[in-house]
Amino acid sequence: GSLAVTGNAFKRAGGSLAVTGNAFKRAGAGIPLVHGTPMPFDNYFDGQVPDFLWFERLLEDQGSGLNKPAAVIVETVQGEGGINVARAEWLRALQDLCHRQDMLLIVDDIQMGCGRTGGFFSFEEAGIVPDIVTLSKSISGYGLPMSLCLFKGELDVWEPGEHNGTFRGNNPAFVTAAATLDAYWADGQMEKQTLARGEQVEQALLAVGEEHPEAGVQVRGRGLVWGMKFADPTRATTVCRGAFELGLLVETSGPESEVVKVLPPLTVSSAELDEGLQILAKAVRDTA
């Protein structure tokens, strides 16, 4: 089995749903999901309990009933979980724990990789080296279906053709992905632009929170993924609907859909971003 931190979201198949935290999405399996064990995400106990005390106690206790997991899977920034950002020191401590316990560390970079948080991989800032990394969504650079599973060489135990499928190997996506890497990642310009645009988003969202103290807005994020958490969970949905009517597409995230998720294209211009942020600010204002 695998161990997944609270708030993870891996969506579709039974195995991935077993390591998903959201109760609504887990229920979609229609069967008991028993091959994943939850572990608290960073700051789950609001700093009142040492980060890995609970998990390490279970591992050490021969009567805990926990079978030692083969791997820990984590998102460095939880997109569907509410834009929860793991601290670099927490990720490093998690890697150390996995090494001590002889468990693999898997980073799900499907939504947060490919430059979304600044560096190409979301875990670069923490200085960790996962055993396995998953990539998808924007990796093709052109909206074409493509997913990758990267892993250390010593984990390559499958024989050719042992794990395959009819729809694997989307050749046009390989072409567009390679072209995108050459065009946008030949130097550090994309990373610098993403961080600059991210600061623009952060300042705009903080201004919205200051304008509406009654909303209890919490702003969190990295790079070009940001969220506004509202004290009243229903307000986030209302804001998203209002923004849509004004011509801006944003969605909610979090276990109660309490977070407005801001996920602009990485190629967005400063002017386009400002226009979208003004629409979002008006949508919040209209729900006051």
> Is 47 a member of any domain?
yes
CATH of the domain at 12: 3.40.640.10
Both tokens of 119, joined, read 């560096």
Q: Are 98 and 16 in a shared domain?
A: yes
CATH of the domain at 274: 3.90.1150.10
Q: Are 106 and 18 in a shared domain?
A: yes
> Is 158 a member of any domain?
no
> Is 86 a member of any domain?
yes
Q: Are 206 and 95 in a shared domain?
A: no
Q: What is each CA distance from 17 to 44, 77, 173, in whole angstroms?
A: 21, 18, 26
Q: Are 207 and 100 in a shared domain?
A: no
pTM: 0.87
Q: Nearest 5°: phi and psi at 12?
A: -90, -70
Contacts of 1 by beta carbon, 8 Å cutoff, 6+ apart: 34, 35, 36, 37, 67, 69, 70
The runs of H, that is alpha helices, within the chain are: 14-18, 23-27, 53-60, 88-100, 171-184, 189-211, 233-245, 270-286
> Is 179 a member of any domain?
no
Q: Are 131 and 9 in a shared domain?
A: yes
The domain boundary, picked from 135, 155, 175, lies at 135
**How far is residue 34's CA from residue 230's CA, in Å, rounded to a whole number?**
33
> Is 182 a member of any domain?
no
Per-residue pLDDT of the chain in tens (288 residues, 90 and over written 9): 556 666 655 555 555 555 555 565 646 555 555 667 788 899 888 888 888 998 899 889 989 888 888 999 999 999 999 999 999 999 999 999 999 999 999 999 999 999 999 999 999 999 999 999 999 989 999 999 999 999 999 999 988 888 877 777 789 999 999 999 999 999 999 999 999 999 999 999 999 999 999 999 999 999 999 999 999 999 999 999 999 999 999 999 999 999 999 999 999 999 999 999 999 999 999 998
Q: What is the domain extent for residue 24?
A: 2-135
Q: Are 103 and 14 in a shared domain?
A: yes
pLDDT of residue 146: 92
Q: Are 121 and 202 in a shared domain?
A: no
Both tokens of 111, joined, read 């939504």
Q: Identify how many contiguous H helices and E strands the chain contains and give both numbers.
A: 8, 12
**How far is residue 32's CA from residue 40's CA, in Å, rounded to a whole number?**
21
Q: Read off the amino acid at residue 222.
A: R
pLDDT above 90 covers a percentage of the chain that reads: 72
The domain boundary, picked from 89, 120, 135, lies at 135
Q: Are 131 and 193 in a shared domain?
A: no
> Is 26 a member of any domain?
yes
Determine contact, residues 134/148, Cβ cutoff 8 Å: yes
> Is 149 a member of any domain?
no
Residue at token pair 């468990």: 103
Beta bridge partners of 151: 132
Give the total number of structural domains in the chain: 2
The domain boundary, picked from 118, 135, 152, lies at 135
By three-state DSSP, how is residue 16 classified?
helix
pLDDT of residue 51: 86
Beta bridge partners of 253: 259
Q: Are 119 and 199 in a shared domain?
A: no
pLDDT of residue 4: 63
Contacts of 224 by beta carbon, 8 Å cutoff, 6+ apart: 116, 117, 194, 197, 198, 201, 263, 264, 266, 268
Both tokens of 108, joined, read 């799900």
Q: Are 22 and 131 in a shared domain?
A: yes
Both tokens of 175, joined, read 């072409």
**How far is residue 33's CA from residue 17's CA, in Å, rounded to a whole number?**
7
CA dihedral angle for residue 140, residue 144, residue 147, residue 152, rounded to 10 degrees: -20
Q: Are 129 and 219 in a shared domain?
A: no
At residue 21's C-alpha, the angle toward residues 15 and 23, to 5°, is 100
pLDDT of residue 30: 59
> Is 38 a member of any domain?
yes
Q: Are 39 and 122 in a shared domain?
A: yes
